[in-house]
Structure 1
């Protein structure tokens, strides 16, 4: 099967526990014997951000990783792109249940990596797009084109998400502008910091029932953020 490594942690004396996003089984956990013996041939820790053809052995409990061969060139992400990628990893691990197939998410993540690698695509656009697609895969997506009354979303209007998961016209301090909703739908750049904040807060609120309210550790990687992300960051 094909997979992307999401997270690795020490296991016993020299091993690793590895969390993967796979093409056929969703989030899969396995162990790698000798994964921390960096000089032992064939036991090196698999790289992040590259699609690998992986093989396993064993039945019951965690399978054992026996091979992981890249099927594409390795990516080297830095700065905001690196922080954004690890944020996507946290979203996946917190939103999915082990070995629950989520058709399409694998390709959406793969496309997101290519977008993060491109200097022409803002990280915020990539992150917001993945969040929106994740909601779709979880069965919690919105109709971003129309409000609950059947009317098309207007750029100059103000809205909120109702209890039934629909978009309703509304004013007040927690309202989201129509231009933000349209930009999210079309994966467009938001230039105004307030618009970016609205987009981030909206997606955060929609994802909260699926990923919980605990802080995301990837925020600590955000350039210049110290231990917390700036108000208009892309990570959520």
Structure 2
């Protein structure tokens, strides 16, 4: 009986070639003497790991291109989990993220590296990331911009459901009733599960609608998202998050 490779093994041998893929560098670190391993957030392929050969050399074109918060067109190929970057070009079209907004940008990147699984496409979240960077660059409220992204990220990761509906009754949340958001079971009446911050229904509906004009919504959503992120991080720390909290920007 002849042995044939499984479909999984055959798929692993196929070389992936990607060109002109929009993306952003989340993080990079040295690899061997002259290269970098780049953690890239791409529009159609999600987070991917790429080796940028020779990127550390003084005259490498990639050296100045592979910077955080710069919109890029990237190409890569390879069969292994870590692919080889074959090209990267800056495409422009965005204001630079500068000064205090830089720390907020690094917070976004740290969130993505903690919550987004490599190889999982997230085109909608990619657009949210671009939108958030643009908001920060144009001087929008950092706390509100980051709050909206936190929600989008947890929903992309399957860790947060629709904030408009109570998971116990299936009914739409009512503005004046009190609720909690159980990290494992979603929105519930406050009396069912006492752990975690209590919020009114209006706050949940405002968060879902991306409306943070109400000071109560701003305050309650901040406490709620701190709680949910801490729960899902399971003891891991976000360095940039603590700095932002200390600076009262989150």
Normalised to the residue count of structure 2, the TM-score between the two structures is 0.76
Counterpart residue number, 2:199: 176
Counterpart residue number, 2:146: 127
Give yes or no for contact 1:81–1:123 (8 Å, CA) kept in 2. yes
Counterpart residue number, 2:12: none
1:53 alignment partner, one of 66, 70, 73: 73
2: CA distance between counterparts of 1:218 and 1:75?
22
Deviation of the 1:211 alpha carbon = 3.8
2: CA distance between counterparts of 1:213 and 1:231?
22
Give yes or no for contact 2:197–2:224 (8 Å, CA) kept in 1. no
2: CA distance between counterparts of 1:202 and 1:63?
38
1:138 alignment partner, one of 157, 160, 174: 157
Counterpart residue number, 2:239: 217
After superposition, give the CA deviation of every residue in 1:125-165 in whole Å (9 maximum; x if it has no partner).
11111111112212233222233435543444321123652
Deviation of the 1:69 alpha carbon = 1.1
Bigger CA radius of gyration: 2
Q: What is the RMSD computed on CA atoms of the aligned residues? A: 2.8
2: CA distance between counterparts of 1:151 and 1:57?
48
2: CA distance between counterparts of 1:79 and 1:41?
26
Q: 1:84 to 1:212 in 2, by over 3 A?
A: farther
Q: 1:174 to 1:60 in 2, by over 3 A?
A: closer
Q: 1:36 to 1:221 in 2, by over 3 A?
A: farther
Give yes or no for contact 2:94–2:134 (8 Å, CA) kept in 1. no
* Residues 81-100 of structure 1 aligned to structure 2 (within 5 Å): 81-100=101-120
* Residues 55-204 of structure 1 aligned to structure 2 (within 5 Å): 55-119=75-139, 121-147=140-166, 148-162=168-182, 165-170=185-190, 174-189=197-212, 192=215, 196-204=218-226
- How many residue pairs get aligned? The number is 226
Counterpart residue number, 1:6: 26
Specify which structure has the higher proportion of helix: 2
Deviation of the 1:93 alpha carbon = 0.9
Normalised to the residue count of structure 1, the TM-score between the two structures is 0.80
